[in-house]
């Protein structure tokens, strides 16, 4: 099922969101943070990647209520990368931005990112990171998952913002680190930068996130050489 976003002009920015069993209240928070942006000419492309936690179709009803602002579709579960690839394909914006379903933007985030497009074709950024404890600042290294690195030293999927042609030339691959792989590829073909914006709110205190689950596994291996 698809709810079409009928707009009178091409949106300046398409915000791409993939969701899989994200609690509705968190996803609604993410969407409202887009509605509250200072940059106004936007569309949201929301792909439900086979969620099974909404038998009452609460999300579909919400999207119908906001028809004209949200392009919504469902697919069988294929993973975040494939869901974002589909969102790229159907989006219409001049610029594309990613938002994780359980995070949010500060009101000036997209304006901040858009202002960088005179100098760059693709950016990633640091985040305002919400934590329960200092350990939440660290995530598994994509090259050596037994090693932890600070989130400020990572390329985070949801902080990517760039020109449409960058996203159209290469799809995201499956698996952990797809964001950094994409950024590495783009750095060889486009003008890219990692900027200290901190207008993206990253909820690292969510134990059900991919990184959160990986950290639990790592926590059970504290005696391994990699964990020392």
Residue 228 inside a domain? The answer is: no
If you average pLDDT over residues 148-177, what whole number do you get?
92
Helices (H), 91-209: 109-114, 164-169, 178-187
pLDDT for 194 beyond 90: yes
Share of the chain above pLDDT 70, in %: 86
Number of structural domains (the chain) is 1
CA distances from 102 to 52, 105, 115, 151, 200 (A): 17, 11, 25, 17, 12
Residue 210 inside a domain? The answer is: yes
Residue 91 inside a domain? The answer is: yes
CA atoms within 13 A on the CB side of 38: 11
Its domain, for residue 132, covers 2-222
Residue 194 belongs to domain with CATH number: 3.90.550.10
Provide the token pair at 12: 């300046």
Residue 70 inside a domain? The answer is: yes
Give Dmax over CA atoms of the chain in angstroms.
59
Q: Best-predicted range by mean pLDDT among 152-166, 168-182, 198-212?
A: 152-166
pLDDT for 217 beyond 70: no
Q: Which residue's entry shows tokens 């890219």?
A: 192
- Confidence at 186, pLDDT banded by 50, 70, 90: very high
pLDDT for 215 beyond 60: no
Q: Which residue's entry shows tokens 């932890």?
A: 148
Residue 170 inside a domain? The answer is: yes
Residue 227 inside a domain? The answer is: no
If you average pLDDT over residues 122-126, what whole number do you get?
97
Residue 136 inside a domain? The answer is: yes
Q: Tens of pLDDT along 11-64?
A: 999 999 999 999 999 999 999 999 999 999 999 999 999 999 987 789 999 999
Provide the token pair at 132: 């329960």
Q: What is the pLDDT of residue 141?
A: 77
DSSP character for 145? Answer: T
SS3 of residue 95 by DSSP:
strand
Q: What is the pLDDT of residue 207?
A: 62
CA distance 60 to 65: 9
């Amino acid at each position: 099922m698809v709810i079409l976003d009928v707009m009178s002009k091409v949106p300046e920015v398409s915000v791409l969101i993939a969701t899989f069993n994200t609690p509705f209240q968190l996803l609604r928070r993410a969407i409202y943070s887009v509605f509250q942006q200072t940059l106004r000419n936007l569309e949201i492309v929301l792909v439900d990647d086979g969620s099974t936690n909404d038998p009452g179709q609460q999300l579909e009803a919400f999207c119908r209520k906001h028809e004209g602002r949200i392009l919504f579709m469902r697919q069988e579960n294929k993973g975040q990368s494939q869901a974002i690839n589909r969102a790229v394909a159907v989006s219409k914006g001049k610029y594309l931005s990613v938002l994780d379903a359980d995070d949010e933007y500060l009101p000036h985030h997209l304006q901040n990112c858009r202002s960088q497009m005179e100098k760059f074709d693709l950016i990633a950024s640091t985040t305002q990171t919400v934590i329960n404890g200092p350990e939440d600042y660290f995530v598994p290294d994509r090259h050596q998952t037994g090693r932890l690195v600070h989130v400020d030293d990572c390329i985070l999927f949801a902080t990517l913002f760039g020109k449409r042609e960058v996203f159209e030339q290469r799809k995201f691959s499956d698996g952990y680190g797809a964001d950094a792989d994409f950024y590495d590829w783009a750095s060889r073909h486009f003008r890219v930068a990692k900027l200290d914006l901190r207008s993206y709110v990253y909820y690292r205190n969510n134990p059900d996130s991919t990184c959160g689950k990986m950290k639990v596994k790592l926590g059970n291996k504290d005696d391994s050489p990699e964990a020392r």
